[in-house]
Every structure is written in C-alpha cells, then in structure tokens.
Structure 1
C-alpha cells in the first residue's frame, strides 16, 4: 500500500500513472516523470513500480547513484540480476556475454559491448513474451555508460513487445535518449498546495505549524515537499518558535542541507563523506576506512535525517543528501577519501575506480591493479570503463619504464578505440610510439595510427614508417601492407591497393596465422575485381576455407560485396542476410553495420527505397563511433532522391560529402557527389547535375577505370551532358563505358552504356541507330534486377519511338516506364514519363480504354501466365499486376481470367 504521507496531493498523478499502466496499446511506450530535485519524483517512481507489480507486470528496476556511474554494468546488474535465470534460451555467445557482464561468471574470453547489448535485447524479448514487463529507472543520468549503451540498443529495437519504460528525472537534465524514439507520456510533478503541505508535515513529522509559519514554509519551498520537510525539521530542531520568519531560514535547499551537515561533528561528517564516495557503503567498510567504530556517527546522521541504515547497509535518505555531502567537500578532501578507500575495498574494479579518481602517483603496484581491473572490465564488455582504467594505469607508470609505458599506452589505445573514442586512441598511440625503440611492436602502433589517420592520406606515410620498422616479423608486415592497401582503395587508387594486398598475402603465407591469411587473400580478390579482374571465385574459396567468420573484413563479407557489385543481387542478399544474422547474434555490431549498409545498397538498386532508408538508418546507428560514418548517408540520400524527397536527399548527401571530404575518402566523396548530381538530373537542372557528376567521374577515372563496381555516376553524367549539348565529352565517357562493358560483360554496364550511347545517337538525330541500341540495352536489362534503371531505359526508348512517329509503340513503351516509376514511388520520374505520354495525344481503337501495360498484362494472361510470372516478365510488383488486372476486368466487363483471355485473344491484332 502507498504510504499515507506519500499520497498527499498526488491523487491526480497516481491516476495518470494508472492510466498509463492500464493502456490497451500493446506497443512499447514510456512514462517520463519530471520535476525539480526533491519534488517527489522518486516516490512516484516507486509507486509506479508497486502499481505495476500489482497489475502483473514484471518490474526491472534500477536506482543508480552518482557514485555508481563509473562502475561497468552496475545498472544492468540491478535491472536483470534477479531475472536472467528465466532466459535460458539465449544463444550461447549472448548467454556467456551476459553472465560476464553481470559478474555471474568469470571467463578468459573477452566480450565486446555489442555482445552484451544483443543479449539484453534477447532477455527483454523473452521476458516480455511471458508477462508484461516494465523497465523502471530513477535518475537515469547516473546510469553507467555500458548499461546505457546496451539498454539503448535494446529499447530501439523493441516495438511490438508489451514493455513499458518509466524514467524519473530532473527537469534540468537534458531529454533522455533512451526513450526519444518512443511514444512518451510526460508527467510533470507539480508543487504541493498549501493544504497538502500542511498534511505532509503533520503526517511525516507530527507537527502542526501555525498559519504564518506554514505560509512561510510553503512560500520558501515553492511547494517542494522535500524542501518543506527540511524547513519544518529546522523549525522543530530550533525550538518550534511560532513564526518561521523569525528564524534565519536559508532560501535555497542546498544551503539548508549544508547547514544540517554543519550541525554535525567533524568525525560524523567525515564518515558521511566516505559513504558518499562509495557505491555500496556498509558499516564494516566505513569502520575500516576510519580505523574506528562508526556506530555513534551513523546514529547521529540518522537522527538528523541524512542516512538510513538497515543492518550493515548505509543509504542516504535522498540522493540530494549524498550530493550535498560529496559536493560540499573540497577537491583535495575528495581525492584523499578515494585514495583511502582504494586501500580498503576488496573488489578489484571498485578499487580501480577509486584509484582513477586520485592524482596519479608513480607506483608500479597500483598501475598493475589498474591493469588487472581494465582487463577484467574489458572482458565483461564494459570497454568505456576499461579504457579509463587502462589510461590511468599508464599515468601511474613509473617514469623511465619505457617497456611498461609502451605496453600500457597501446593497450589503452586499443580499448579507447573499442569504446569508440578515436581521438583519445590516436593520442595514446602517439604516446606509445614517442619513446619506444624501433621494432615490430612500434611498427604495429604506427599501423594503428595509420588506420586512425584523418585525412586518410596521412596514413600512407605512417604505413611506410611502420614497414621500415617491422623487420623480419612477417605477421606485422602483412597487416601493415593490408592496411596500406585498404587506405589506397578508399583513396581511389585501386592498382596500389591490389599491389599491397598481394604483398600482404605473400607475407601472411609465412606467418602461420590462417585467419590473417584468409583475410589477406579475400582483400586481394576484392581489389582485383575492382581493377577489372573479375570475380575470382578460386581466391574466395581458398580464403573462406581458412577463415569462415562473419566479420566486416572476413572473406565471406568481401565475397558478398564483390558479387553484389557484379550484379549477383540475389546471391549477395542471401550472403548478407546470413552474415547480418550471425554478427547480430554474437554482438559484432561494427560488422553488422557494414552488412546493413550493403543491404541498403541492394535495396536502392532493387527499388525498395523505404527498406533502403530503414537499413541505412540502422547502419548509421550502429556505427556512430566507427570509421566511414558517411557511408550509410549516401545510401539514404540516394533512396530519398529516387523517391523525389529532394530537399532531404540534398541535406543528407551534403552531410555525407562533408564527412568524406574531411577524411579524404574518395570512394564516398564520389558516391555523395553522385547523389547530389542525380537530384539535379531528376529535377532537370542539367548544368548543376553535370558539375556534381563530372567531379565524381574525375575522381574515379584516373585510377579506377577497368570496372565500375558500385560507382554508377557515369551514365548520369552522360545524360546531363547530352541535355547540355556537350556531345564530345559525352562521346568520350560512352567510349570508356563501352570498353569496360566489352571487357567485363556485366549486365549493368552493358545496359547503361547502351542507353548512354543511344542518348548521344538520338541527340545527333540518328534515331534508327538509337532505337536499335536501346533494344540491346533492354536485352541486357533482362539479366539485371534493377527496375528503376529499366524504367529509365524504357523512357529513353519511348521518346525515340515518338520521334520516329511510331506512336503506338511509343505509347506502350512510355506507359510501361510510367507503371514502373509509379510502382516504385519515383515521383519525379513518373511525372516525366507522364508528360511524355501526354505528348502522344488521345488513343483510338477497340481497346483505347486499356493502357499499354494493361494490354500486355491481358496478353500474358491469355498465354496462361500467373500473376507472379507476369510481374517478373514486366519488372512490376505482384500488387501492381493485380491492380491493373482489376481495372482491366472493369473496363472490359469480364469477371474471370478465362473471359479476359478470350477477349484479349480476339482483339490482340487491333492493338499492335
């Protein structure tokens, strides 16, 4: 039951909470209890948990404190510690990661934060299947970073589950990202009325204030119940004079709380400071820290209403009390307290946390304590905390111990990188190489710096320096060559990338590391394809036999990308779907983001632009701290451009271009420039289109000229050039495309190069040749599952046929293009096709009521084709085929496929 004093003045708030919990909406939603410090948020939060429990909810609750915010997964232990045994069906990698995070087991294996995040998602789904579930957090600003990241990952992916999220937070804290994606019910906690304040003081303190005193308390506290109680308690402590106005009452709550502390002996204040600095203070630990019994101090603090001790546990009566005690001490006092606590706490992680809050004093023993804690915490997946501990270990290292300094700087750098802090990682690796002697270890640190270099071009010199120091260490040299090759690829220099990949393979052959050799061979196969060498299945098969992992750099991932770029869309989608499932199961979110990005590219090419946007946004969320953040931006921008959302497409592509320029990433500069040019082309702004597309082409052509891969900007530039009358450059680019098409035989290159050539022929009024060339393009399209490209080729041919005075054929071709554009949602291109159809005028004839698409569908029905077969034949969706059939039945007055077939057969001759 709710306490009597708690319910005073809160009936409407409790009613709102009840309505939230009783909502029939099955989707996940959130309740945000907001108010100033001391207003009663925590009490309402506890009441929400109690009411949820009474309604059959499974309540996962956490009340983090500031002193716990530096402990990895402290909040997760609160939330899931008592429920995790009910989720035995988790995949083993997730179960092991979760057990490690919750300190239920210890393991020599290290788990990444992604593995824990995926495990949390699995746990919440399983719990929600058996009962409605509530995640309740009081003061979420104090959640430790690993818990916040894991919980945020899970909550963003839970939509249909019966889960309620309840957060109680102060209004002066920024909105919480944990619930920003949810439907949020806000419950601002109002101040108490004068009458409610009177009832509160009477119920809680057993005092009845005279009206002048009550009014002064209410006015000074502004109806804040905690402040009101403190003011009234001061009134009682000072003798209960009739008018609080006669007392020197502080106007601010902080001043009032500090005055309460000032009334206590110095020794008691010292005990309270120790308690405020600890995550879980106990009487035993406080006695050890002070070196004397502390029971009398605890009793004094309890009588003053500052703490509440039950058994061996000591807790502050309100978070404000702990904050006042801690913040009221000097920085020197706090450092001293943490240093003393580091000597008495037993848990290695807790000890490291206290050491991390003290000034570093060179001490190898303490540095080793931090080393051990960093390793332990990293093993649990809390890389943010581990990175802090590792850096502090470096700061505790004895000057002159260069080996230890190098080892700790590189370890801290790798942990900072794993935590997503690339800037700090760069500083730490620079520290590592500063005083280290030349050799393979320092070469490896230089390689890390090369991978972190911005702009990318700086990494080439760092790789060269690393190679000069690698010496005979084949494994290190192989990794350096592979890094240099990858940098060269993103700088657009494919021949150099291929050369270094080959050297990486040769060195990896001697390293004895099968996985490294497999990745090196896969990279060689990838860069070879980009250089025009085709899909080297032999190399990929060898690589996958050595390394069957699912990571972003694995042979299977490289194969999926190459197959995708070579028009093998069905095979690539199957590979990427499996890779995504595997990496999500193990929590390899870096790799999952890459697989999602490539799926988004496939979605764009397949014309499923809403899915492309969804996949791109999800990829971007997963790679917030990763390299190449601009990659998903270009895919999202292209999808939005195809849908006609040109303003948003421009904004997203400009952001991606700015990021790519900053990094000197030529690949994604080209891609974002392509999107910006395509936007202008779609709008008919040919001069602006050519400026963007020409820049993209000029970045690509000098060093990446034998295979187009996923770089699709050249046909678009040719179209813009033709519209501008710049046929000489258009001819030059078309000849390049023809040459690559003949060499590779790729369907995309054959189809788009033929369309480009036909546009030039039509511009020169060679309409017969243009029509024949477009016929060849359409033949290539039969092998290309890219309906939007097909629609563009049909549009071009329809215009040529109109100019040839072949009106019936032109109408059929243009309306087929229009149907494709409408089916895809390509609004700007549908408008263009519609205007071309309108130029043909009104049809005549027996079936003038049927569009050419409807006529073709009717003819295929007459041939006995199914709707699925018709959709595949005409590159339409089944839904579009069914809609056209319904209209055809209505127009012809038939009711069945048999009647339609008979009618179509009898009139077919008059429609050609």
Structure 2
C-alpha cells in the first residue's frame, strides 16, 4: 500500500465530511491511494477509542453471499438481539443462507441495524469501512444500505472507497475524489521506499506516473533488479501498464489526466481499436476544456482509425451525432444518430440519442420507436423527458443521475423532493471541490435552477440558469444553452415586473433560435407567447402558438392560446378553453402545478371580465395547490393575482400592462418614452393605448387623465 504522502488537504476534507455528514465515498483511479487514505482515517478513529469495522472485498468474492457482512460482523455476540432477528443474522453469517421471504429479509436487516447501534452503545462510536464498495456481494450490500441509512447520524459513520468507473452498489454518499500527487509528494513517497533515486530516473518516473502513487511505486520497482541495491540502466523507465490498461485508467479521470494517458497510448500502440479509443478519450477531454469545437477533429481522427463495424466505430458515431445535436445541427445529428443506432455494434446510448433527435425534429412516432429499443439507464430517461415522460428519470439511481432526477421531479410537480435533491447535489459538489454557483458541472447548475424555479426562488433560478447558459455558449453548445435560457425566461416571467417580462421575452426568443419540436421546444414557444401577452403583443402571441395544432392539449400551449385570445377581446372563448384544460389536468396527479398555472390564467381572465366569484374560485384552487406542493415562486404569482382581485371594484377594468402604459401616458410621457420605460416597442404602446381608449370611452390624453383614476379603482 502506498504511504500517505501529500494528502493533507484530502485528509482534512475527509474528516470534515465524516464529522458533518457521517458518511464519505473516496474515489479515484487505480493506485491513487484510496485505501491508504481510508486506512489513515480508520487508524485515527481507533486512536480516538472508536470501534472500526472493516471489510475489503475482492472481485471474486462478489459471488459469495454474505461474505462482506461476515468480515464486518463475524464473531460479534448476537445474544442481545431479538430471537427472530438473531436467527436470521446467524444463518447468514455462519451458513451463508439467505432468508426465504420478505419478512425474513426485513428481520435480518433489522438485526444488522440493531447490532450496529448496540456496538455504538458499547464503544461510543463506530466507523464502518467498506474498502472496495463495488465488490460487496449483493445480499451484504442490501443489508448494509438498509442499516447504514438509519444508523448514520446516531454515532455510526461509514467510509467507503470506489475505483473510478466502478459501480457504487447504490450507496449514495458524499464523494471526495482523489487527484494526482504533486511531483514533490511523489519524490517523498519514493524516497521512503527506495531511498534517494538518481535525478534522471526520478524525473522519468514522475512524468510517466502522472501523479499516481501506485504507478510510481510500480515503475520504481520495475527499475530495480533486486531488493537491496540500486542498479539503474539509465533514465528510460519501463511503462507499467499496457495500452488497454492506460485507457481503462483514463475512464473517469480528470481531463488533464485522461489526455496524458491517451497520448501515451497513441505513442506506443499501433492497434486501430486502441487508437480509436484514445482519440475518443482525447475528444471527451477537449469537449470539457475547450467546448465542442475542440472535439471535432479528434472525433474525425478516431473514426479514421477505428476498424469497420467495431464497437469503437459505433461509439464514435454516437459521439459525432451528439456533437451535431449540441451544436444545433439537427439534420446532421439525425443522419449520424441513425448511422450510430443502426451500427452492427451500436453504442448502447445510440437509440436514446436517436429518440431525442427525432423528437426535436417533430417526429414523436419515430422517437417513441427509437426509445423502445433503448436499454434502461440515464440516456433512456433523458430521451423520455424530451417526450414529456418523467417516469424513467424518477427511477434512476446513484449520485451521477441526481441532476436528471431533479429535473424529473420538477416536471412532475414535486417541488419539495426536487429542492431537497438539489441541496444534496450542491453538498456533493462542494465536497468534490467544485461548489455552486461556480461549478464546472453545467448540468448540475441547470438542475438546481430548475429546482429553485419549482420550489425555491425565481430570482435565484434565473441567476443560476443564466450562468449555465453562458457556460454552454462558451462551449459552443446551442442545445443546452437554449434549455438554460428557457428556464431563465420562465423564472423572469414568474417575477412579473415589467423589466422581468422584457427579460423573459429576450431569453425565450434566444432559446427559440434553435427550433425544436419536442416537449422543451413547444413549452419554450408557449412561454414566449405568454411573455408577449404581458407586453400587450397579443397578435404576436397568437401567431406564435398558431403553428401548433389546435388539437394539442399541452398545458403551456393551451394557456398561451387562451391568454392571447383574451387580449384580443375574445375573453369568453379563453375562459372556455382554460376551463376545459383544467378539467383534463385534474385527472393527472403529475400535472398539479400545471393545473395551478392553468387556474391562475383562468382567474386572471375571469377577473378582467369582472367575474369576481369565478376568479376567486379559480385563484383559490391554484393557491391551495401551490401551497400543498410548496411551489413558492408560483404561489407568489397567485397571491399577487388574488391581491389584484381584492383591489378591484365594479368599474371599468384595465389589465396590469394597460394600467402601467396608461399611467405613464397620463403623466405626460410620449409613446417612445413609455416604450423605453417598460421595455416594449412603440407599436405595442400604441396598440395598448387604443384598447385603453376604447375601454374607457375617451379619445384624448386629456380625457385619459380624468378617466384613469376611476379605471385604476376598478
């Protein structure tokens, strides 16, 4: 095991995580020192008088039921446990026998929990160390997940390790990723083991090891013919790993580490398969650091070297399609995605990508067909979201899928869950040294913005979404930038001020420059129409939703169509449309917040018609739905509309936009000055004043000054 050198910062971070969360997952590539750091933390816990329970399963032990649990708890007295629980645990530990039914499994898992808490009571504190959590046998992993979820925070802590790229056995723990050691720390490590090395050899080891202590020790050992004397043949250091092993180490590594490993492969291998993989690693690293433009040539180079019909060719085709999708080149993306999905050795993610592209191009039938061929996983769940189905994303597991789950819960109207997962994601990013709001994980940034939009703060949602949009713009990613701008625009629309409404129009128009016919694209267009209504551009709003078939019952589109109709003087038709939509949405529990938005629109139109009772009923129902779901931003908008209703009387009634424009005009502002103050066009001001004149029965600004106080009371 490599000595612990150069890990003071990680050791402090790990102690803080265990102290604050009671749980920590150490990750990193092979040889990086996960076991050494876990050992140092365990030794410190033992010095403090804590009981340390350890297991370090090997890959071949994963098929041995209850092996890991036996390593942890074997030999511990079980007499204090309830008889049924004691018998179930004893059968597992001594005879490797699993319970026959659900009741027996529950008894065994409760026994593990009871034993951990009993040991806590005896020793004051317990640290459970799972060194190699990916290789826990499934029965032990299930029992430990059950027990540790309940015991952590009650004097029991858990410390797990996992190699980059391995499964975490569904243990969802705060993660601390170990990066490379500094050259000075590597030099100290090698000196501890081998004494002072010649400078040329030490330099060669440092360059080849890329900061990995295990690799450095293997390299140093390979240059020693025996264990007593240093007899180095020169500065050349033999590589300790094959090209395939280097590529395996590159998977999941930081971009700079992955790039160095892949370049080693290109320098030492003539295999088309391995060289294609190396180009793919380089392309991924370039996409992270330089944006999509930096990956184009590398993907092309990989395709040029990949053998025909090889798995590598299939994976590269999928990545080329992903590149075109993110660049907003949808026809090219479709051609490449179809080639990737039809490849003899297609990448597993290719059918889901094809579904997303087809949905964006307005082919829901083709998208559903491709989705049916996609295997379960995050990519399939993402494609299902594009078709408006959050179910698969809600069922994804693991910290890697947190951003996806947040979006799915928000889409399902589950504001509390979405916000709780967002806070957990923020905590994980902080412990990984990549905290919000400056995180490099733009997908995480947008997911937190979506959660804030649903149940937190519209202002914070907008700030985070705009930051994500700027990051994706810098990377040349039009696809994700459009999604971030749509979230920013919706947040601005919820804020409701004139400046915010103008910002919403700007954001949503920018999002719409990438034409998409999937759920996202249709919703963004509908939101833009709604934002145009707030500015009095009713004809433009109607034109925006006019391209969508009248038969559509998507909530956002129906609302925008109704609000545009109301603004054009067809308020009764708008009420009928909104009532029918609300009746449909009441039957779907996942559309609670969409129903609240529809009722808000209905209440607003009813209020303008001076149907106070109908308006109050609709707004009261919307208020109750938002309060029950803890949807704070939407709840605030409903409360504002209720306040307007309470202030209204029986006189002529102007909309909020009409009141603002008429008020400025009555105060002596010119049409151009009104437009500048409210961030609207001069044409909008002219059209709005014409409607105000008709409603109030006046023909001049002098008459408007006299009539406006009465209208404001109404």
TM-score range, shorter chain: 0.5 to 0.7
Provide the residue aligned with 1:775 in structure 2: 579
Shift, 1:73, TM fit: 4.3
Shift, 1:97, TM fit: 8.5
Shift, 1:157, TM fit: 6.5
Provide the residue aligned with 1:708 in structure 2: 519
Q: Structure 2 residue aligned with 1:611, among 390, 413, 417?
A: 417
Looking at structure 2, the residues matched to 387 and 656 of structure 1 have their Cα atoms a distance apart, in angstroms, of 37
Provide the residue aligned with 2:85 in structure 1: none
Provide the residue aligned with 2:28 in structure 1: none
* Cα 1:91/1:657, change in 2 over 3 Å: farther
Gap runs ≥5 in structure 2: 1-16, 22-31, 73-108, 137-144, 160-172, 175-183, 225-231, 651-714
TM-score, reference length from structure 2 = 0.60
Q: CA RMSD in A?
A: 5.4
Looking at structure 2, the residues matched to 355 and 124 of structure 1 have their Cα atoms a distance apart, in angstroms, of 53
Write the deviation string for residues 700-736 of structure 1: whole angstroms up to 9, x where unpaired. Answer: 444x422234874333222222222334543342124
Query: Are the aligned partners of 2:616 and 2:642 in contact in 1 as well (CA < 8 Å)?
Result: no
Looking at structure 2, the residues matched to 714 and 455 of structure 1 have their Cα atoms a distance apart, in angstroms, of 27
Q: Structure 2 residue aligned with 1:561, among 372, 377, 382?
A: 382
Write the deviation string for residues 394-446 of structure 1: whole angstroms up to 9, x where unpaired. Answer: 999999999x879757744542442x422221233245446765833222211
Structure-to-structure mapping, 1:492-891, within 5 angstroms: 492-507=328-343, 509=344, 511=345, 516=346, 518-534=348-364, 538-544=369-375, 551-553=377-379, 558=380, 560-569=381-390, 572=391, 575-576=392-393, 578-580=395-397, 589=398, 592-594=399-401, 596-619=402-425, 629-643=441-455, 645-692=457-504, 694-702=506-514, 704-709=515-520, 712-727=523-538, 729-736=540-547, 738-739=548-549, 745=552, 747=553, 750-782=554-586, 784=588, 785-825=590-630, 826=632, 827-840=635-648
Provide the residue aligned with 1:440 in structure 2: 273
Query: Are the aligned partners of 1:128 and 1:162 in contact in 2 as well (CA < 8 Å)?
Result: no
Query: Are the aligned partners of 1:679 and 1:689 in contact in 2 as well (CA < 8 Å)?
Result: no
Shift, 1:159, TM fit: 7.1
Write the deviation string for residues 364-387 of structure 1: whole angstroms up to 9, x where unpaired. Answer: xx99xx8xxx9xxxxxxxx97567
* Cα 1:477/1:166, change in 2 over 3 Å: closer
Shift, 1:811, TM fit: 2.5
Provide the residue aligned with 1:128 in structure 2: 116
* Cα 1:675/1:429, change in 2 over 3 Å: same
Provide the residue aligned with 1:163 in structure 2: 155
Query: Are the aligned partners of 1:394 and 1:409 in contact in 2 as well (CA < 8 Å)?
Result: no
SS of 2:378 mapped into structure 1: coil
Shift, 1:835, TM fit: 1.4
SS of 1:664 mapped into structure 2: coil
Q: Structure 1 residue aligned with 2:295, among 443, 453, 459?
A: 459
Write the deviation string for residues 751-780 of structure 1: whole angstroms up to 9, x where unpaired. Answer: 221211122222222223322332343355
Query: Are the aligned partners of 2:269 and 2:275 in contact in 1 as well (CA < 8 Å)?
Result: yes
Alignment pair present for 1:482 and 2:318: yes
Looking at structure 1, the residues matched to 393 and 158 of structure 2 have their Cα atoms a distance apart, in angstroms, of 37
Shift, 1:482, TM fit: 0.8
Shift, 1:561, TM fit: 3.4
TM-score, reference length from structure 1 = 0.48
Looking at structure 1, the residues matched to 649 and 199 of structure 2 have their Cα atoms a distance apart, in angstroms, of 80
Query: Are the aligned partners of 2:54 and 2:130 in contact in 1 as well (CA < 8 Å)?
Result: no
Looking at structure 2, the residues matched to 356 and 159 of structure 1 have their Cα atoms a distance apart, in angstroms, of 51
Shift, 1:478, TM fit: 0.7
Shift, 1:455, TM fit: 0.6
Looking at structure 1, the residues matched to 71 and 351 of structure 2 have their Cα atoms a distance apart, in angstroms, of 35
Write the deviation string for residues 576-623 of structure 1: whole angstroms up to 9, x where unpaired. Answer: 45542xxxxxxxx4xx422x3232223223333221022223345557
Looking at structure 1, the residues matched to 606 and 473 of structure 2 have their Cα atoms a distance apart, in angstroms, of 43
* Cα 1:451/1:735, change in 2 over 3 Å: farther
Query: Are the aligned partners of 1:68 and 1:144 in contact in 2 as well (CA < 8 Å)?
Result: no
SS of 1:805 mapped into structure 2: coil
Query: Are the aligned partners of 2:292 and 2:477 in contact in 1 as well (CA < 8 Å)?
Result: yes
Shift, 1:460, TM fit: 2.7
Looking at structure 2, the residues matched to 800 and 577 of structure 1 have their Cα atoms a distance apart, in angstroms, of 35
Looking at structure 1, the residues matched to 556 and 428 of structure 2 have their Cα atoms a distance apart, in angstroms, of 34
Shift, 1:76, TM fit: 6.8
Looking at structure 1, the residues matched to 569 and 642 of structure 2 have their Cα atoms a distance apart, in angstroms, of 23
* Cα 1:338/1:393, change in 2 over 3 Å: closer
Alignment pair present for 1:427 and 2:260: yes
Looking at structure 2, the residues matched to 357 and 681 of structure 1 have their Cα atoms a distance apart, in angstroms, of 64
Query: Are the aligned partners of 1:593 and 1:619 in contact in 2 as well (CA < 8 Å)?
Result: no
Shift, 1:69, TM fit: 8.4
Query: Are the aligned partners of 2:486 and 2:524 in contact in 1 as well (CA < 8 Å)?
Result: yes
* Cα 1:771/1:427, change in 2 over 3 Å: same
* Cα 1:654/1:384, change in 2 over 3 Å: farther
Query: Are the aligned partners of 2:330 and 2:357 in contact in 1 as well (CA < 8 Å)?
Result: yes
* Cα 1:84/1:394, change in 2 over 3 Å: closer
Shift, 1:798, TM fit: 1.9
Looking at structure 1, the residues matched to 296 and 453 of structure 2 have their Cα atoms a distance apart, in angstroms, of 35
* Cα 1:334/1:841, change in 2 over 3 Å: closer
Shift, 1:77, TM fit: 6.8
Write the deviation string for residues 551-598 of structure 1: whole angstroms up to 9, x where unpaired. Answer: 434xxxx0x3344443444xx1xx445542xxxxxxxx4xx422x323
Gap runs ≥5 in structure 1: 1-27, 33-66, 102-120, 138-142, 168-179, 182-326, 342-353, 375-382, 545-549, 581-588, 843-912
Shift, 1:686, TM fit: 4.0
Q: Structure 2 residue aligned with 1:472, among 304, 308, 312?
A: 308
Query: Are the aligned partners of 2:315 and 2:347 in contact in 1 as well (CA < 8 Å)?
Result: no
Query: Are the aligned partners of 2:485 and 2:510 in contact in 1 as well (CA < 8 Å)?
Result: no
* Cα 1:763/1:538, change in 2 over 3 Å: closer
SS of 1:640 mapped into structure 2: helix
Looking at structure 1, the residues matched to 115 and 521 of structure 2 have their Cα atoms a distance apart, in angstroms, of 43
Looking at structure 2, the residues matched to 128 and 644 of structure 1 have their Cα atoms a distance apart, in angstroms, of 37
Shift, 1:625, TM fit: 8.7
Shift, 1:822, TM fit: 3.0
Query: Are the aligned partners of 2:501 and 2:534 in contact in 1 as well (CA < 8 Å)?
Result: no
Shift, 1:805, TM fit: 3.4
Higher mean alpha-carbon deviation, 832-841 vs 754-763, is at 832-841
Query: Are the aligned partners of 2:280 and 2:302 in contact in 1 as well (CA < 8 Å)?
Result: yes
Q: Structure 2 residue aligned with 1:83, among 27, 30, 53?
A: 53
Query: Are the aligned partners of 1:360 and 1:392 in contact in 2 as well (CA < 8 Å)?
Result: no
SS of 1:83 mapped into structure 2: strand
Higher mean alpha-carbon deviation, 616-625 vs 465-474, is at 616-625
Looking at structure 2, the residues matched to 700 and 597 of structure 1 have their Cα atoms a distance apart, in angstroms, of 23
Looking at structure 1, the residues matched to 641 and 222 of structure 2 have their Cα atoms a distance apart, in angstroms, of 66
Shift, 1:502, TM fit: 1.5
Provide the residue aligned with 2:686 in structure 1: none
